Amino acid sequence: MRHLLMGLIFFFASANAIQAAPTEDPYAEVNASWERFGAVYSRILENYYARLDQGEVMSAAIKGMLGQLDPYSEYYDEEGLRQLRQDTTGKFAGLGITVAIKDRFPVVISPIEDTPAFRAGLRPGDLIVAVEGKSTLDMQLESVVNALRGEPGTKVAISVASHLGATPREVEIQREIITIKSVVLVEELQGKIGYISMRQTRFSEHTSSEVEEALKSLPRVEGLILDLRGNPGGLFSQATQVADLFLPQGVPIVSIRERDRRREEVKYSHRHSIAHNVPLVVLIDEGSASASEIVAGAIQDNDRGVVVGAASFGKGSVQTIFDLREREEEASALKLTTALYYAPSGRSIHREQDIAKPVHSVLFGDRELPHQLVMDLILRSENRAKALSALQSHFDMDSESAESLLLIRLGDLVGKSKMGAAGLPDSMGNQTYYTQRGRKVFGGGGIRPDISVESEPFPPYVQELVRRRLFFDFVIDYVSADSSWAEEHPDLTVSDEMVAGFMEFVLTKDISLDQGKKGLNQIADLEDLAEKMDWGEAVQESIQQLRAAVKQEWELRYSSELEPYIKSALRRELILRFRGRKAQLLEGLQEDVQLAKAIEVLADQDQYLGVLAAEEAR
C-alpha cells in the first residue's frame, strides 16, 4: 500500500506542478490534493449504500488517473503482469501450439516450428478431444490453454483426432520453455536478394541475435530486405541492437528525452556490422510502431537504406515499468510513459493523440479503451486491414482482440454522452528535417517511406471471412490431413467446385444476406449522432466514405470479382494444412506489391542510389 500511496502522491505532484505557481512549501499542493482524494475515498467506503471491494475501488481510481495521461500508461495486476513478461521475453512454458475452438473442440491452428507439439506431429486442423483423459467438449479456450501449459519438464497426455468423428490417437508431450521467434522467415529471393521477415512479430529478448543469425545465413546476397510491416514494437534495447547490425560505427540511432529535457540520452552504433555495406530496403506499414519505427528511422536518417511501404503508426514514446509489489503473492506494476524517442535527424517519432476528457471508455475484456480514440482510429483507416493494424499497434493487442473490437456495433462504440470535436490524430506534419546527406524527411510522428506503395489487401467482405476463420474451417472439413486429396492434387489447386462448396459453407455459418443492410443501418445511426453532436465536417465526411465503401463491397460480395481472392485465401489454408507455416508465408509473398517494389529497387542500382542521393545531386 505504501508504494501505491507514493505513486498517487507522485501523480498529484506532477499534475499540480503544471497548474500551480511555485510556493514556499513545495509539498503544500501535494498534501492538499492527497487530502481531497483521501476524503472522497474514505466517504465512499464508509457511506456507500452497498459493500464495496476496496481493491476494485482503488484499481478504478488508478485507471482513472492513467486514463487522463495517454493510451500507453497502464496498471497491471498479476495476470496482466504475466502476459506483459511473456510479450517482452518472448517465452512461455507449454507445448508450442496456437489453438482456437472448432466444432466445440479445441483445434490446432498451427504448431510453432521446433517445439514439442511440432515434434510430436500435431498438424493444423487437429482436434484436441481430451487432455489428461478429460473431454474438452465445450471447454473454454482459456481453460484449454491453462491445461496445456505447465512447468517445463512435466508431461501432458492429450487425445488428438484428425477430424470430427475420427478415431483419436494418444500423444504424451513434455512441456518446454517456448521461445516465440521474432524472425519468422529467412529466404534468399530472386537476384541474390536476402529477405528477413519480422512481420507481425515483436521485439523481444533475443531479437537482435535472431536477426544476426539470419544475416549470417545469407552470406552471398547482394541486397537485403528487412520486413517490419505489422510489427508493433517491443523492447527498446533490441531496437537499437537490430539497427546496429546494419549501420556503420559511430552514427546516432535514436535519442531519448524526458520532460523538460531533464535527461537526454543518445544511442550510437558501436558494432562492426556484418551487413553495413549491403544495399538495404526496410518495409513498413501502418502497423509498424515503436521499436520498428526506431529501426526504420535510424536507417532512413543515416541514409543507410531505402524505406518502402506506407507511413508507420507513430508510437514514439518510452514506457518505464515500475514494480508496485509489496508482497510476493500480490504482484502488480505500473507502465508509465516517461520520455519520447527522436530519430537521428531530430524529428519526433511520436504522433500526438488528443484524448477527450473526461474519458468515455469501451469496456473490452478487462480493459477500458477511450471510445472516441477507438472511433478515430477506425474512421481514419481506409479499410478493415488498416483499422486492424492501427488498433493492434495503438492498444498493444493481438490480432484476435482487434478483430473482436471491430465487431462492436458502431452506435454502441460511439456511446450516448455528448462530446466535443473528435480528437483526430495529428497529421504527419510539415516540419522539415534533414538526413546525413541532406535529404528531406518530415516530423509530426511516424516514419514516411522514401517510396510509398499501398498494399492490396483482400476486399472487406473476404477479410470478414478470413477474420471469422471460415477459410481455415472449410479446408479442415473439406480435406482431412490423412486423406489422399493432397496426393491427387500435388499443386494444391483450388477448383471451381471447391469455391462453390465454400460459398455454400459460408451460408451455413450465419453470414446472413442482410448483413450489408444491417451495416448500413448502423452507419445511418452514426450519421445521425454525428450531426446531433456537431462532430465537424471531417468526421462526417469519413463516415460518408465508410458508407460508400460498405455499400459497394456488400453489393459485390457474391460477384465473380471476388472469386480470385477466395481462391487465393483457400489455397493459403491448403498450403498451411499440407506444407506448414513457412510454406504459407512464402506463398503470401507471391502477390505482395510492396515486396515486389523492394526487389525492383534493389535490382536497379541507379534507382536505389537515386533515392538516397542528396537533394542537390538530384
| 23-40 average pLDDT score | 80
Taking the C-alpha atoms of residue 193 and residue 278, their distance in angstroms, rounded to an integer, is: 10
Task: Find the DSSP H helices in 116-164.
Answer: 116-119, 141-148
pLDDT digits (tens, 9 = 90+) for 356-375: 333 345 555 556 666 556 76
Classify residue 335 as left (phi > 0), alpha (psi -120 to 50) or beta: beta
Band of pLDDT at residue 24, cut at 50, 70 and 90: low
Last residue of a domain, one of 454, 469, 495: 454
* Whether 465 and 528 share a structural domain: yes
Q: Measured at the alpha carbon of residue 270, what is the angle toward residues 264 and 275, in degrees to the nearest 5?
A: 125
Q: Distance between alpha carbon 289 and the CA centroid of its chain, in Å?
A: 9
pLDDT at 7: 43
- State what percent of residues in the chain have pLDDT above 90: 37
* Per annotation, catalytic residue among 290, 317, 381, 542: 290
- Give every CB contact of residue 470 below 8 A, 6+ residues apart in sequence: 502, 505, 506, 509, 511
> Quick check: is 140 in a domain?
yes
* Whether 226 and 292 share a structural domain: yes
Pick the more confident residue, 378 or 322.
322
pLDDT at 558: 58
* Whether 169 and 189 share a structural domain: no
Taking the C-alpha atoms of residue 390 and residue 397, their distance in angstroms, rounded to an integer, is: 10
Q: Measured at the alpha carbon of residue 461, what is the angle toward residues 455 and 462, in degrees to the nearest 5?
A: 65
pLDDT digits (tens, 9 = 90+) for 246-287: 999 999 999 999 887 788 899 999 988 888 789 999 999 989
pLDDT at 301 exceeding the cut of 90 = yes
Q: Of 18-22, 149-153, 232-236, where does mean pLDDT reach its minimum?
A: 18-22
Give me the amino acid identity at 470.
L
> Quick check: is 119 in a domain?
yes
The reply to whether 192 belongs to the active site is no
> Quick check: is 449 in a domain?
yes
Task: Find the DSSP H helices in 439-560.
Answer: 460-467, 470-478, 485-488, 496-507, 515-532, 537-555
* Whether 333 and 212 share a structural domain: yes
> Quick check: is 417 in a domain?
no
pLDDT at 265: 92
Last residue of a domain, one of 16, 44, 78: 78
* Whether 493 and 577 share a structural domain: yes
Q: Which long-range contacts (CB under 8 A, 24 or more apart) does 509-515 make?
A: 509/468, 509/470, 511/464, 511/465, 511/468, 511/470, 515/554
What's the structural domain count of the chain? 4
DSSP letters for 348-405: B--------SSPPEEEETTEEEEHHHHHHHHHTSSSHHHHHHHHHHHHT--HHHHHHH
> Quick check: is 265 in a domain?
yes
CATH number for position 157: 2.30.42.10
Range of the domain at 327: 185-397+423-454
Question: 26 by DSSP, 3-state: which?
Answer: coil
Last residue of a domain, one of 78, 101, 122: 78
* Whether 123 and 236 share a structural domain: no
The three grid cell numbers given for residue 562, joined into one nine-digit string: 471476388
* Whether 257 and 315 share a structural domain: yes
- Cell 499540480 belongs to 16
The reply to whether 59 belongs to the active site is no
> Quick check: is 157 in a domain?
yes
The reply to whether 301 belongs to the active site is yes
Q: Distance between alpha carbon 65 and the CA centroid of its chain, in Å?
A: 25
What kind and span of H or E run contains 83? helix 78-89
pLDDT at 249: 93
* Whether 220 and 110 share a structural domain: no
* Whether 232 and 343 share a structural domain: yes
Band of pLDDT at residue 618, cut at 50, 70 and 90: low
* Per annotation, catalytic residue among 285, 301, 303, 376: 301
| 600-616 average pLDDT score | 90
CATH number for position 350: 3.90.226.10
Looking at every residue in the chain, the average pLDDT score rounds to: 81
* Per annotation, catalytic residue among 102, 267, 315, 335: 315
Q: Of 411-420, 524-533, 605-614, where does mean pLDDT reach its minimum?
A: 411-420
pLDDT digits (tens, 9 = 90+) for 212-228: 999 999 999 999 999 99
> Quick check: is 41 in a domain?
yes
Nearest to 61 by CA among 12, 107, 20, 112: 12
* Whether 373 and 231 share a structural domain: yes
* Whether 235 and 170 share a structural domain: no
* Whether 578 and 494 share a structural domain: yes
